[in-house]
């Protein structure tokens, strides 16, 4: 084990912890200790804030749910494709698990209704020559495109090319949503998106389309011997199509932001459920917390 204690800020130290560093590190408020396959993020008083089980498959971590660093750790976990699975076996801690995800995707672990709300707007995908890669679901330890979701009497049937998942309303499903303009190719052997970070070829090229349509219109105008100036028409069309492309990109950014906010909302709901459960276990009446004392 490498010993390399030096001063870092809290954020950098948490990032090292999440990455699975085996160094002995410290910041003003935290320190990182590693012993075998166990990595612990400790407070200044020596209390464990988070514990990483480095040898678990998938890699697993638990975090103290009332820690002042929970929000920071949660944010970095999300960026590193960790998912919160709820209460840990150790009292007062919540459990996170790490999953390998294709480039350009954000992972979620939610009830099936959240997946259905995200998938429904994509249901009109009409290109039968390619899979709709916007949303992938975990099935038999692989990621597969969602082909269809049927909802009947609180039961969600999620169909993929490898089979189907049947979940009740209170069940949980692991899924991916695309959050960048990368369009991964689908591996023909595994039905898995290729892990390369290079953008795949896409069917529609806005710039090429703009040039083509402008040239075609100018040619037709010349053939009809119109008095309209072809160069002027081409300039107008190019300008309009550039504005259209800019609007498409803006819409995509808004969609990504909405997806992130929806993910944060789901995490907040899970945390609230954990707090309520903790109060119940401690036999604390929630009304007493909000009651105004005289």
C-alpha 281/C-alpha 293 separation (Å) is: 24
What average pLDDT does range 130-156 have in this prediction? Answer: 86
What percentage of the chain carries pLDDT values higher than 70?
Answer: 72
Task: Enumerate residues 6+ apart whose C-beta is below 8 A from 110.
Answer: 172, 173, 175, 266
Band of pLDDT at residue 50, cut at 50, 70 and 90: very high
* Residues paired with 86 in a beta bridge: 95
Strand order in the sheet with 155-160: 148-152, 155-160, 163-168
- The Cβ of residue 39 has, within 10 Å, a number of other Cβ atoms equal to 23
C-alpha 191/C-alpha 144 separation (Å) is: 6
- Cis before residue 93, ω within 30 degrees of 0? no
Residues in the chain: 294
Task: Enumerate residues 6+ apart whose C-beta is below 8 A from 157.
Answer: 149, 150, 151, 164, 165, 166
Nearest one of 22, 19, 48 to 35, comparing CA atoms: 22
pLDDT reported for residue 64: 92
Strand order in the sheet with 105-110: 105-110, 173-178, 135-139, 142-145
> How far, rounded to the nearest angstrom, does the alpha carbon of residue 224 sit from its chain's CA centroid?
53
- Residue 217's SS3 state is helix
Residues 212-231 have pLDDT tens digits of 444 555 555 455 544 556 67
Task: Enumerate residues 6+ apart whose C-beta is below 8 A from 30.
Answer: 10, 13, 14, 41, 42, 43, 44, 49, 69
Instruction: Inform me whether the pLDDT recorded for 37 exceeds 70.
Output: yes
pLDDT reported for residue 131: 66
Strands (E), the chain: 7-8, 25-27, 30-35, 38-43, 48-53, 60-64, 82-87, 93-98, 105-110, 135-139, 142-145, 148-152, 155-160, 163-168, 173-178
C-alpha 96/C-alpha 60 separation (Å) is: 6
Task: Kindly report which listed range (41-50, 76-85, 191-200) carries the lowest average pLDDT score.
Answer: 191-200
Residues 282-293 have pLDDT tens digits of 777 777 766 655
Band of pLDDT at residue 51, cut at 50, 70 and 90: very high
pTM exceeds 0.75: no
* Residues paired with 136 in a beta bridge: 145, 176
**Rama region for 53: left / alpha / beta (φ>0; ψ in -120 to 50; rest):** beta
């Amino acid at each position: 084990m490498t010993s390399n204690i030096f001063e870092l800020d809290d954020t950098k130290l948490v990032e090292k912890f999440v990455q699975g560093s085996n160094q002995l590190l410290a910041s003003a408020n935290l320190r990182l200790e590693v012993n075998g396959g166990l990595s612990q993020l400790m407070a200044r008083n020596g209390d464990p804030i988070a514990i990483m089980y480095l040898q678990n498959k998938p890699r697993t971590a638990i975090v103290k749910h009332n820690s002042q660093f929970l929000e920071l750790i949660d944010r970095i976990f999300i960026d590193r494709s960790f998912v919160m699975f709820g209460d840990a076996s150790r009292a007062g801690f919540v459990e996170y698990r790490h999953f390998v995800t294709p480039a350009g995707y954000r992972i979620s672990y939610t009830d099936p209704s959240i997946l259905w709300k995200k998938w429904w707007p994509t249901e009109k995908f009409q290109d039968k020559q390619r899979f709709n890669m916007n949303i992938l679901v975990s099935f038999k330890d692989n990621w597969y495109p969602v082909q269809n979701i049927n909802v009947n009497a609180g039961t969600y049937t999620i169909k993929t090319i490898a089979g189907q998942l049947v979940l009740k309303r209170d069940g949980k499903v692991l899924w991916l949503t695309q959050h960048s303009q990368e369009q991964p190719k689908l591996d023909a052997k595994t039905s898995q998106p290729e892990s390369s970070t290079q953008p795949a070829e896409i069917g529609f090229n806005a710039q090429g389309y703009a040039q083509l349509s402008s040239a075609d219109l100018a040619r037709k105008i010349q053939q009809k011997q119109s008095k309209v100036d072809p160069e002027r028409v081409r300039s107008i069309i190019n300008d309009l199509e550039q504005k259209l492309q800019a609007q498409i990109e803006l819409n995509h950014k808004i969609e990504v932001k909405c997806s992130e906010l929806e993910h944060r909302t789901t995490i907040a709901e899970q945390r609230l459920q954990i707090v309520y459960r903790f109060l119940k276990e401690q036999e604390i009446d929630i009304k007493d917390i909000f009651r105004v004392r005289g």
